[in-house]
C-alpha cells in the first residue's frame, strides 16, 4: 500500500491534451464543422447564379485565355510555370483553372463551386488548427465563423479571378497544420511537409512570404516555444530563403507587366501615409462592413497628410499597448502583429496597380484581429466579474447571423460585370476606374452610347487615364466616328498604354480610312506585343487578301481560328479566300464552320458559291 502511495505522489500531473474531454470532444468538433459548412453555404449560395466578371480579369484568367481553354496539355503546363502573364507568377493557380475548364468548360457555376469549396476547406482547417493549438474549441469555432462569413471576404470567393486567394490560403493553413505537428515532435521528416506546403502556397500567390514570421508568432502563443529563442529563427531559415526567392520573382513579374509604380511617380512618404490609412480603413470595414467596392482609387499626391499622421499615431499606440500587455494576454500581441505583418506585402510600400487598398487583401490578414476578439471579449468580461453565461453565446450567434446576411447581399453585387461596377460607382466618389469598367460592361451588353458616356466620364474625372482613352477610341471607331476615335487611341498611346489590343484598334481605324499600309503596321505591332490576339490576325488577313496575298491571308486566318475556336469571322474570311483560289470544297467547309459558330453567311456569296459548286451533300 505504501508503495502505491509513493507512486501516486511522484506521478507527474497530466495536462489535458487536445484530444481529451477537457479540450473538447471530437463529436463537438464535428458538430461545429457541420455548422460552419451550413452557415457558409447559406451565406454564399447565390454565388452559383453569378457570371464571370468578363471586363475585369476573368477574361484574362479564364474565358479568353487560350492556354486555359486548351486544357491540361504539355504546352499549357510549360506555359503555367514560365509565364509572367498579368504581372504574376503563380503556376498552381493556372493549373487549377485548367482543371476547372476540363471539368466545367466555361460554365461559371463550376468555377464558382471550386472557389467556394476551397473557402469552406479553409474555414474548417482554420478551426481545426486553432482548436488543436489552443484547446479552445468554441473560441476557435467563432474565429472560423467570422472568417467564413465576413463580407470583406466575398471578393476573394465570388470573383473567379481571385482563385489565388482561396488556393494560397489553403496551403497557408496546411502549412500551419504541418508546422503544428512538427512543433510537437521536431524532426527533419516532419519539417519536410512544412516546406512542401509552403512552397506550393508560394506557387499560388506570393502573399505567403510573411508566413514564416507568423509561425514565429505562433511559437510564442499558443505553442509556447519561446524558450527556444534563436533556434526558432534558425529552424525557419529555409522558409525565409523561399520567401526571399518568391519576392524577387514577384517583383520581376510585376515589373515586366508594368504594374509597379516607381518612386518617381509616388514618393516613399506618400506610400507610407497611404499604408497607415489603409490599416485603419481595413479595421473600420471589419467592424462596419459597408461601402465595400471592388476598386478604391489611390489618392496619389492628394493624400490627406493629417489623416496619414493620425493613422500612424493610432497604429503606433495600439502596437505599444499590444506589446505591453502581450505577456499577460499573449493573444493580443500575436493577433495584432499577425494583422500588421500579413498586410505588409499588399499594403502599398511596393505599389502595384492603381488601387489604394482592396477587400481581397484581408482574406487571411483579419484572422489575427478575429483571434483578439474571440479571446479578448470573454477575458474582459470575466476580468470585470460580469456573469453573462447565456448572453455571450447569443450575442456571438446574432453577430454571425447579421454578418451572414450582409455577405448574402454582397455576393449579389457580384452577379455580373455591370452590377459590380455599378455598385462601386454608388458607394465611392469620382471613381474613374469604375466608370471605365462599367463602360466596358455596357459595351459587352450592346449599349455603345451608354458605354461612351461612362468612358467620357472617366476621362472627365481623370484626364490622363489611358485605358479610358483606349476604350473610348475603340468604341468611336466601331461606331464610324473614326478620326475622333483615332485621336483618343493616340492619346492613350502617348500616356504610356502600349498593348496589342490598342494597336489592333488603331489598325481598325486606319483600315476604315483606307490607310492600309498604316493598318498593316499597327497589326504587326499588335501581334508582336500579343501573338495570341486573334482579332489582329483576322484583320491583317483581310488586308493581305485585298492586296492579293491570299496564301499569307489564309495562314493568319488559320491562326485566328485556332487561337479562338469560338471566333466565327475567320471562317467566313477563309471561305472567301478559298473561293478566290477556286478551292470550293474548302470554301464550303469554312461556311459550315462559320454557321456552326453562329455566323450568318452573305446570301450573295452563297449564291455565287452554289453556281460554282453545289453545297456538298445536295
Task: Report the alpha-carbon distance of residue 161 to residue 52 in Å, rounded.
Answer: 9
Q: For residue range 88-102, list pLDDT tens digits in order.
A: 899 999 999 999 999
pLDDT score, position 331: 97
Closest by Cα among 112, 2, 117 to 62: 112
Whole-prediction pTM: 0.89
Q: Would you say residue 498 lies in a domain?
A: no
Instruction: Please give the grid coordinates belonging to residue 206.
Output: 506570393
Q: Would you say residue 293 lies in a domain?
A: yes
pLDDT score, position 23: 46
Tell me the residue ranges of DSSP E strands in 199-285: none
pLDDT score, position 16: 42
Q: Would you say residue 478 lies in a domain?
A: no
> Residue 565: how many CB atoms within 10 A of its CB?
12
CA 495 to chain centre: 27
Instruction: Please give the grid coordinates belonging to residue 544.
Output: 493581305
* 272-284 as b/e: b if 16+ CB within 10 A: bbbbbbbbbbbbe
Indicate the DSSP class of residue 397.
Answer: H
Helix (H, G, I), strand (E, B) or coil at 18: coil
pLDDT mean by block of 10 residues, the chain; 618 residues? 39 42 72 97 97 93 88 86 91 96 95 98 98 95 98 98 97 98 95 98 96 97 93 96 94 69 64 93 96 87 86 97 94 98 89 80 97 93 68 91 97 97 95 96 95 97 94 95 96 94 96 95 95 93 93 94 88 90 88 87 79 66
Q: Would you say residue 273 lies in a domain?
A: yes
Q: Would you say residue 438 lies in a domain?
A: no
Q: Would you say residue 615 lies in a domain?
A: no
Q: For residue range 212-233, list pLDDT tens digits in order.
A: 999 999 999 999 999 988 999 9
Q: Would you say residue 508 lies in a domain?
A: no
Domain count, the chain: 1
Q: Would you say residue 83 lies in a domain?
A: yes
Range of the domain at 373: 24-413
Alpha-carbon torsion angle 38, 40, 43, 45, nearest 10:
-80
What is the number of alpha carbons within 13 Å of residue 369 lying toward its C-beta?
23
89 Ramachandran zone, left/alpha/beta (phi>0; psi -120 to 50): beta
258 Ramachandran zone, left/alpha/beta (phi>0; psi -120 to 50): left
DSSP run (H or E) holding 297: strand 296-297
pLDDT score, position 122: 98
Task: Report the alpha-carbon distance of residue 122 to residue 173 in Å, rounded.
Answer: 7
Amino acid at each position: 500500500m505504501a508503495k502505491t502511495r509513493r507512486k501516486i505522489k511522484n506521478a507527474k500531473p497530466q495536462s489535458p491534451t487536445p484530444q481529451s474531454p477537457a479540450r473538447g470532444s471530437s463529436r463537438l468538433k464535428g458538430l461545429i464543422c457541420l455548422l460552419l459548412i451550413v452557415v457558409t453555404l447559406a451565406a454564399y449560395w447565390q454565388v452559383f447564379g453569378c457570371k464571370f466578371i468578363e471586363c475585369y480579369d476573368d477574361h484574362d484568367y479564364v474565358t479568353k485565355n487560350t492556354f486555359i481553354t486548351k486544357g491540361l496539355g504539355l504546352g499549357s503546363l510549360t506555359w503555367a510555370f514560365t509565364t509572367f502573364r498579368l504581372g504574376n507568377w503563380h503556376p498552381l493557380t493556372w493549373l487549377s483553372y485548367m482543371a476547372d475548364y476540363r471539368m466545367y468548360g466555361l460554365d461559371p457555376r463550376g468555377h464558382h463551386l471550386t472557389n467556394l469549396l476551397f473557402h469552406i476547406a479553409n474555414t474548417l482547417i482554420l478551426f481545426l488548427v486553432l482548436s488543436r493549438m489552443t484547446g479552445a474549441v468554441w473560441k476557435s469555432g467563432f474565429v472560423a465563423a467570422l472568417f467564413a462569413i465576413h463580407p470583406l471576404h466575398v471578393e476573394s470567393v465570388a470573383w473567379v479571378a481571385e482563385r489565388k486567394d482561396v488556393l494560397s490560403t489553403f496551403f497557408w493553413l496546411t502549412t500551419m497544420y504541418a508546422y503544428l505537428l512538427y512543433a510537437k515532435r521536431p524532426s527533419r521528416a516532419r519539417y519536410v511537409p512544412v516546406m512542401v506546403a509552403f512552397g506550393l502556397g508560394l506557387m499560388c500567390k506570393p502573399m505567403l512570404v510573411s508566413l514564416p514570421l507568423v509561425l514565429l508568432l505562433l511559437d510564442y502563443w499558443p505553442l509556447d516555444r519561446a524558450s527556444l529563442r534563436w533556434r526558432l529563427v534558425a529552424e525557419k531559415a529555409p522558409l525565409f530563403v523561399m520567401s526571399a526567392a518568391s519576392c524577387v520573382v514577384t517583383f520581376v513579374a510585376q515589373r515586366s507587366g508594368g504594374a509597379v509604380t516607381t518612386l518617381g511617380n509616388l514618393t516613399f512618404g506618400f506610400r507610407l501615409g497611404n499604408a497607415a490609412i489603409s490599416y485603419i480603413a481595413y479595421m473600420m470595414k471589419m467592424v462596419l462592413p459597408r461601402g465595400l467596392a471592388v476598386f478604391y482609387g489611390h489618392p496619389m499626391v492628394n493624400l490627406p497628410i493629417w489623416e496619414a499622421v493620425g493613422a500612424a499615431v493610432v497604429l503606433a499606440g495600439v502596437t505599444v499597448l499590444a506589446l505591453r500587455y502581450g505577456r499577460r494576454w499573449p493573444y493580443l500581441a500575436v493577433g495584432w502583429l499577425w494583422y500588421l505583418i500579413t498586410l505588409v506585402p499588399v499594403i502599398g510600400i511596393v505599389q502595384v496597380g492603381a488601387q489604394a487598398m482592396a477587400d481581397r487583401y484581408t482574406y487571411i490578414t483579419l484572422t489575427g484581429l478575429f483571434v483578439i476578439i474571440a479571446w479578448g471579449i470573454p477575458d474582459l468580461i470575466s476580468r470585470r466579474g460580469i456573469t453573462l453565461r447565456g448572453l455571450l453565446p447569443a450575442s456571438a450567434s446574432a453577430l454571425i447571423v447579421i454578418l451572414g446576411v450582409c455577405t448574402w447581399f454582397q455576393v449579389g453585387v457580384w452577379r455580373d460585370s455591370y452590377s459590380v461596377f455599378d455598385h462601386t460607382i454608388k458607394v465611392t466618389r469620382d471613381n474613374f476606374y469604375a466608370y471605365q469598367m462599367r463602360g466596358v460592361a455596357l459595351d459587352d451588353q450592346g449599349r455603345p452610347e451608354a458605354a461612351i458616356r461612362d468612358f467620357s466620364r472617366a476621362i472627365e474625372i481623370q484626364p490622363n487615364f489611358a485605358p479610358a482613352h483606349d476604350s473610348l477610341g475603340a468604341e468611336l471607331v466601331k461606331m464610324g466616328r473614326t478620326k475622333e476615335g483615332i485621336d483618343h487611341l493616340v492619346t492613350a498611346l502617348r500616356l504610356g498604354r502600349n498593348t496589342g489590343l490598342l494597336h489592333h484598334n488603331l489598325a481598325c481605324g486606319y483600315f476604315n480610312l483606307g490607310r492600309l499600309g498604316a493598318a498593316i503596321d499597327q497589326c504587326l505591332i499588335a501581334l508582336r506585343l500579343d501573338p495570341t490576339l486573334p482579332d489582329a490576325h483576322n484583320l491583317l488577313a483581310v488586308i493581305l487578301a485585298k492586296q492579293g496575298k491570299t496564301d499569307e491571308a489564309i495562314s493568319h486566318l488559320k491562326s485566328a481560328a485556332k487561337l479562338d475556336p469560338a471566333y466565327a469571322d475567320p471562317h467566313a474570311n477563309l471561305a472567301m479566300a478559298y473561293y478566290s483560289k477556286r478551292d470550293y470544297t474548302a470554301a464550303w467547309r469554312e461556311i459550315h464552320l462559320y454557321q456552326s459558330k453562329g455566323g450568318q453567311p452573305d446570301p450573295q456569296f452563297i449564291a455565287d458559291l452554289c453556281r460554282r459548286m453545289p453545297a456538298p451533300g445536295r
